[in-house]
Amino acid sequence: MRTLEIRSQHLCFGGIQGFYQHDSKAIGLPMRFSVYQPPQALYGPVPVLFFLAGLTCTEETFMIKAGAQRLAAEYGLMLVSMDTSPRETGIAGETDDWDFGAGAGFYVDATQTPWSRFYRMESYVTQELREIILTQFSAARNQVGIFGHSMGGHGALTLALRNPGMYQSVSAFAPIAAPMHSPWGQKAFRHYLGNQQENWRESDATVLIEGGRRLPALLIDQGLNDPFLAEQLHPDRFEAACRKAGQALNMRRHDDYDHGYYFISTFMADHLKHHWDMLKSE
């Protein structure tokens, strides 16, 4: 059992908001994550939602900004978020760009040196952190959902697609839905996965849907005043692939909303209900 360092804990809507650190075997460095344990977790295992945050975020961003704990306490949902990359690896250039390196792990396992030594976010989220949550917290093993925002929306979609049956519910806010067509995605994939675009396909949600992978019924929210919509996110490509494949998708577009946490917090209740409705029957 991995030893967890409790960095802080706070009473929140009758539950516990905690921030933790541990020595990660998958990453090879200390990693930080956060957990909201609803009051129902005192009496037995509860459904758990993993939230994957976007570029520049940390394990604190979602818990501070999304306004999710009150609703999670009502439903009895555990919330988990994690840092978006390894930190202080010593790799040259790691902190040079806000959209690559530190704070921008893209939820892939890097195959290219020097990144492959530490940047193993897919393994961290789907294996190591998952087992920590399921074994050291009061989380129900067969009631696990995943959602995320922007880079984290890409992560939620692709990790669920690449690991059939691991997540019983999935949703996203403004995901990078076709990263092979996104400058952010191209930059990350070139460094983490190499120059051969064929090696990028397994990390692109649109391509995975086109290739036959499927998910539980999806909810995606997208603001139409999002400055990254046209160049980076490409929800239309993903929606078209889902329509052709018969993948159930509720794609909601919202006038005047942008890319930030004011947008996310506005529609958080809908996402938690979406997950609760799917997880409670498991």
Active site (catalytic) residues = 150, 226, 259
Sign of the alpha-carbon torsion through 228, 235, 51, 63: positive
Which tokens is 156 given?
Answer: 């939620």
Residue type, 253: R
The Cα–Cα gap between 204 and 209 comes to 9
153's CB contacts (< 8 A; 6+ apart) are 52, 54, 147, 172, 173, 174, 175, 176, 177, 220
List alpha helices for the chain, DSSP H. Answer: 61-65, 69-75, 121-123, 130-136, 151-162, 183-193, 205-210, 235-245, 261-279
Q: % helix / strand / coil in the chain, to the nearest 5?
A: 40, 25, 35
Q: Helix or strand or coil: residue 137?
A: coil
Q: Helix or strand or coil: residue 270?
A: helix
